[in-house]
Structure 1
Amino acid sequence: MNSIWQVARGLKASYRDSDLRGRVAKLNGRLDQTSAPGDSAGLDHAETAREYYDICSHLMVYGWGESLHFAPLRRQESLDDSKLGHQRLMIDKLDLRPGMSVIDVGCGIGGPMRTVVREAGVKVTGINSSEVQLVRARQLTAEAGLTDMIDYVETSFMDMGAIEDDTYDRAYAIESTCHAPDKVGAFTEISRVLKPGALLWGQEMCLTDRFDPASSTHRDIERELMRGIALRKIATFAEVNQALEAAGFEVIEGKDYGTPENGSTTPWYQPMEARSGTRNNTLRGTPLGRRLAIASARGAEALSVLPRGTAEVAKLLDRTADAYVAGGKTGIFTPLYCFVARKPH
């Protein structure tokens, strides 16, 4: 878990020549437009998502760790252990074997990628459009001594033109294709770079069957989630499967791992609600911890320890955490719809 001093150094290095406060204000305006009904037709959603991660990544890592994804939680495990267990499940479902070539679609700062390389002995290419995240990913990969097993392509997964057809044995996309402005287009492009017969693991943020479009409460939570995660739309399980099939994939398996029957004995949103629920859960992600982070950021800005605007980033992520908790507690949203799909031979 990154210390506040690592966050401070990262923020200063990333935003030294930019107006962070102005960028956050502009991003908030774009996010408001994204979540407003019928008001985002002319918005570049891919650019919004890229800016969201460029601005927010350092604080996201501070609060959640190097693997920026959700996982089924169990009381006897820490959050990091649960994420590692979920990555191992992915490795098993993909049947990864030494010598395979794998593409990580939307690699973030590379936490899962480094696990995959260590545990499966495969070579991985990380795709990411966020320069800030790629800089940190390369640093962490070098520190882990895995540079010869991992490379990167700075591009959108909507257009991976630098990669030839039928290149990779396997692919995974963890909480990335939920940002696709065109889900069929994203899955079609992933299919293009996979070899015939290759497997794809995906983890999508979805509306569950409990979502009622006639409920104003459900609609309000949906809009807050869209705003907080920089999403153009939140798909249902069926819509994800339909997009995969339209792109030519065979859907082998799809399930919500955020439910007790699929291994989550503690609610997936618990670390953002209270310290109880998992072993060694920290204060950082809780409402109190988030308020302390905002107050601390304001003080650090005044002392020029953190760039001006850092507190506004913390406030944005605090609002997003509240939306996650609301979506989870009502049961209308999950970040853990996971699927395995195969490109036909």
Structure 2
Amino acid sequence: MQLGKLSRELSDAYRGLDVKRRAQHFDGWIERATPDADGTSGYDHTETVKDYYDLCSGFMVWGWGESLHFAPLTPHESLEESKIRHQRLMISKLDLKQGMTVVDVGCGIGGPMRRVVREAGVRVVGININEIQLKEAKRLNAEARLDHMVDYETCSFMDMSAIEDGTFDRGYAIESTCHASDKQRAFAEIFRTLKPGALFWGQEMCLTDKFDPNDSRHRAIKRDLMRGIALNDIATFGEVDHALEAVGFQVIEGMDRDVQKGPSTPWYQPMESRHGTLGNALRRLPLGRKAVITGSKLAEVLRLFPKGSAEVVRLLDRTADAYVAGGRAGIFTPLYCFLARKPL
């Protein structure tokens, strides 16, 4: 995405918003979520997740690409090539066939969706509560001449009541249900909408077995990740599996896909160093991110970016630092991938 295009898209996405104030409001969501003395808070995490993507999608796409997810990396691939390889693994695991209807739970702007449609020839229904992302997904799908193969539902995956039971042949959720305030409830809705025998692939952000709740540094990293990514909590591998099984899924496999045989690059490396990933963009790196903050401030003065844009970049920069800290400490992975089945 070129800077001119980014400027136009930010202006469109931020129209009518006090961006700086909204970014500061988002930054305080953990404090607002803390219950009062009487045990109540009136807090709605769905709104926090919506704020996160309203504010951050444009810059995330500019920095990371249309597929807003992590992937197992290797030294001989670019980030984009690694994401494509990972998406193809998902397509293979789901055993997609032409004529199937597949649900993309939390579809973002549709990066994986477009690959699924192109390569598997299936019909996809994208679920997303964020209207800004859905608008961009529709535009990109039309541009790719794939819009005739895609439908959309503007709703939360916590409540897909507009969709009938047993609608979908397959389903996938890539780094979306990690935002759920109640993971079991989210999985229950997905389970309900799948046909008996359907396969479901998921990619979750998780704490690893190395996380020590008694370690203050570990707790601080976890809190920074939760704050920056709008995660109500961060589950362990076992907690994800338990939530799946509790609603009726059979877990076929589950593993941290960052653990690979042969030469590999840590999943967080593109945010830390140019080494280990072909053609890594400077804007993803610490110095590059600081330069983008400075450039965004200048762009605000020149009225190229809406006021408050630099505040959003600052949030993303801090979150990138948290990702790297979690990855380097070995306590966090965004690559816990599972394959589950709804029994016949």
For this structure pair, what is the TM-score category when the shorter chain's length is used for normalisation?
over 0.9
- Do residues 317 (structure 1) and 335 (structure 2) align? no
Sequence identity (%): 62
Q: Could you say what the CA RMSD is over the residues aligned between the two structures, in angstroms?
A: 1.7
Match of 2:5 in 1: 6
Q: How far apart are 1:42 and its partner, in Å? A: 3.7
**Structural mapping, 1:161-172, within 5 Å:** 161-172=161-172
Secondary structure at 1:199 match in 2:
strand
Match of 2:336 in 1: 337
**Structural mapping, 1:146-165, within 5 Å:** 146-165=146-165
Q: How far apart are 1:26 and its partner, in Å? A: 1.2
Q: How far apart are 1:182 and its partner, in Å? A: 0.7
Unpaired stretches in structure 2, ≥5 consecutive residues: none
Match of 2:285 in 1: 286
C-alpha separation in 2, matches of 1:32 and 1:321 = 21
Q: How far apart are 1:40 and its partner, in Å? A: 8.9
C-alpha separation in 1, matches of 2:193 and 2:112 = 20
C-alpha separation in 2, matches of 1:3 and 1:40 = 45
C-alpha separation in 2, matches of 1:322 and 1:34 = 23
Match of 2:60 in 1: 60
Distance 1:181 1:328, change over 3 A: same
Secondary structure at 1:159 match in 2:
coil
Distance 1:277 1:40, change over 3 A: farther
Match of 1:109 in 2: 109
Secondary structure at 2:282 match in 1:
coil
C-alpha separation in 2, matches of 1:88 and 1:179 = 24
Distance 1:41 1:89, change over 3 A: farther
Match of 2:264 in 1: 265
Q: Are 1:257 and 1:264, in contact at CA under 8 Å, matched by a contact in 2?
A: no
Q: How far apart are 1:264 and its partner, in Å? A: 7.2
C-alpha separation in 2, matches of 1:134 and 1:40 = 33
Deviates more, 1:306-315 or 1:23-32: 23-32
Match of 1:30 in 2: 29
Aligned residue type for 2:49: A
Q: How far apart are 1:75 and its partner, in Å? A: 0.5
Match of 2:229 in 1: 229
Match of 2:204 in 1: 204
- Do residues 220 (structure 1) and 216 (structure 2) align? no
C-alpha separation in 2, matches of 1:140 and 1:264 = 34
Secondary structure at 2:231 match in 1:
coil
C-alpha separation in 2, matches of 1:121 and 1:312 = 41
Distance 1:7 1:112, change over 3 A: same
Match of 1:274 in 2: 273
Match of 2:143 in 1: 143
- CA deviations 1:44-66 (Å, max 9, x no partner) are 11110011001110000011000
Secondary structure at 1:204 match in 2:
strand
Aligned residue type for 1:195: K
Distance 1:126 1:40, change over 3 A: farther
C-alpha separation in 1, matches of 2:286 and 2:58 = 19
Q: Are 1:254 and 1:340, in contact at CA under 8 Å, matched by a contact in 2?
A: yes
Match of 2:133 in 1: 133
Aligned residue type for 2:17: S
Secondary structure at 2:142 match in 1:
helix
Distance 1:103 1:137, change over 3 A: same
Deviates more, 1:202-211 or 1:14-23: 14-23
Deviates more, 1:202-211 or 1:6-15: 6-15
Q: How far apart are 1:249 and its partner, in Å? A: 0.2
Aligned residue type for 1:92: S
Unpaired stretches in structure 1, ≥5 consecutive residues: none
